[in-house]
A and B are shown apart, each in its own frame.
Chain A
Amino acid sequence: MLHELERLLDGLGGWLIRADLGLGLLLVVGISMSLSHVFALFANRLAARQIIWRLVIDALVLAAAFLLTSSIDMVLLNLYGSNPVHPSAFVDGIASCLLPACFYVAVAAPYVGETMGLVIWVLMHLNVITFVHVRFDLPWDQALLLTTPGYLLAVLLVALLFRQSWQRGYAMLASELGQP
């Protein structure tokens, strides 16, 4: 039993070393997205220390969300694609596709921010489709079909995380105003 656990942990360690670039990039993307959201935390009237903690936790959650969506892409490719996929190489490749999201912090800007966010999301998906098409020799339509479920999940997770925080802020505002 212990040997089995040791073997599993060794495997995980080896994988983490091989995928360090991809994981590092995912973390940068998580931090950038978390920072873009900092005013939602201000809207909730959190203390400075709470805001820092939330930023760190949100960054980790977002990085984990992108890792999860990448793994969905990977599973779908393994099931329906023709070429074998190595996890660490895949995470590295996918993380490079998420490079535009390193600038996601700019989405915090008023008025232009949401448009920038939309452009970044579209760019990320186009990058992933192109990567899958080139790296795994899949036709464009198949690449689109296999990567879209993971992408939609990522959009949903990020939207839920951000929306929840803003809603709490607006609820606080409404409570100050009272009933109309």
Chain B
Amino acid sequence: MKGAGRLYPWSQRFNLKLLLLVLAIGLGINVVGVGHLLLAVRSALSPADLQLLLHWIGLLLLVLIPAAGIYSLVSEFAFWEGWLEGLPAPSTLFDHTPAVAASHRCYLVYLDGIHQLERDHPPRVSAFLELLEQQLAAETLLVRGLETYTVMPVALAEDAGSAWFWRRLFALQEQHPNGLVQLLAAVLVQANNVIKVGISSDRRYGPILNYELALKISLRLAELGFRPGGGSRIVLTGYSGGAEMAMGVADYLRRITQAPVSIISFCGVFSGNQVLDQLSGITTIVGSKDPVAAFGRIAYPGRSPLLPLSNWNKALSAGRIQRDCIDGMNHNGNSGPFSEPFRLRVIKAILAALALPVAAPERTGC
């Protein structure tokens, strides 16, 4: 997808401040515009008709939102059913012959946030990852370029069932002269990834999606020379929604690779529903001014202290979760983790988390 390259600079500028500004302007226009619209509508429709219209719009939303979620599930389950080729058996993933050259001791797998559209990361994220890679120890390999929100090896614009829709949306996002239309198109593209985060956190569907994603990560690790039982460990590092995907896949990855798996999240939005008790460690790096990560604690009841028996709270009370707060850091944009003022501090926090002692194999069951 050549055009997608041009999307990145725009995606980088898409931050919370811009969204709030556009929403505020939109709200202002609406306050003025809706008044005029209401006068026009009221001359054509009676109050009873208006009420009926509002009911129908509400009903339509009630139908459309679940329909989008249900449609998103179809490809995951078609893949699971084996109707789409490419779901390997875990036993066939790895080469079980001893490695010729010494493989890496630690595989640091990066799972991107919901802004990810295809394999390549946006430029600011790529720059961050290059800096991180430079500072990693020689025995640690950074695994990047994983499409976190698709289980199939194709980009959205090549998806069999919905390619026409995504291509049209990408075109609107890139070429439409109206900024508001561009923003809405970008929000819709990212909404697809948000739905995937919702699927991962759903206790009914999460296991299937997370298993498929764990297989995808395992395939990538196998390509890079990972061998089960070779003494290597895996660290999943997830940004924003990537943290939820990391928590979802971690236990499956541990079982498939038979290696200790730990998680480092930064600005993470996650449910805490997943199986966390067998992981080697969890570190969450949070910004003190990150409203999105804070919203995650409200959106997912499993992280509320009111539910002490949730997987997250049990891991928290067992002392398996380390928390590192970075003062002044936001979720994205010029104060986000990929911005120049904060990226070195985030990298430092990641390196500190990597240096933490790994739980013994007996404890992790690997």
Contact = CB atoms under 8 A, between A and B. Distances in A.
Contacts of B77: 39, 42-43
B144 interface: no
Contacts of A12: none
Contacts of B78: 42
A120 B252 CA distance: 34
Provide the main secondary structure of the chain A interface.
helix
A87 interface: no
Interface string B64-90: 011101101100011011100000011
Given A109-B66, A110-B72, A177 B205 contact: no
B232 interface: no
A15 interface: no
A113 B202 contact: yes
Contact of B205 (A106, A110, A116): A110
A40 interface: yes
Interface string B192-217: 00010011011011011001000000
A60 to B, nearest CB: 23
Interface residues of B, number: 34
A37 to B, nearest CB: 10
B211 A108 contact: no
Interface residues of A, number: 24
Given A109-B66, A110-B72, A180 B254 contact: yes
A42 B80 contact: yes
Nearest to A176: B90
Contacts, number: 77
Interface in A139-180: 166, 169-170, 173, 176-178, 180
A173 B208 contact: yes
Nearest to A107: B66
A169 B205 CA distance: 10
Interface in A93-139: 103, 105-106, 108-114, 116
Contacts of A7: none
A114 to B, nearest CB: 8
Interface hub of A40, A43, A103, A166 (most chain B Cβ within 10 A)? A43
In order of increasing CB-CB distance, the 4 nearest A-B pairs are A111-B198, A109-B66, A109-B69, A42-B77
Interface of A: 39-40, 42-43, 45, 103, 105-106, 108-114, 116, 166, 169-170, 173, 176-178, 180
16 contacts: A39-B73, A39-B204, A43-B77, A105-B66, A108-B70, A109-B67, A110-B199, A111-B198, A112-B198, A113-B204, A114-B202, A114-B204, A116-B66, A173-B208, A177-B256, A180-B365
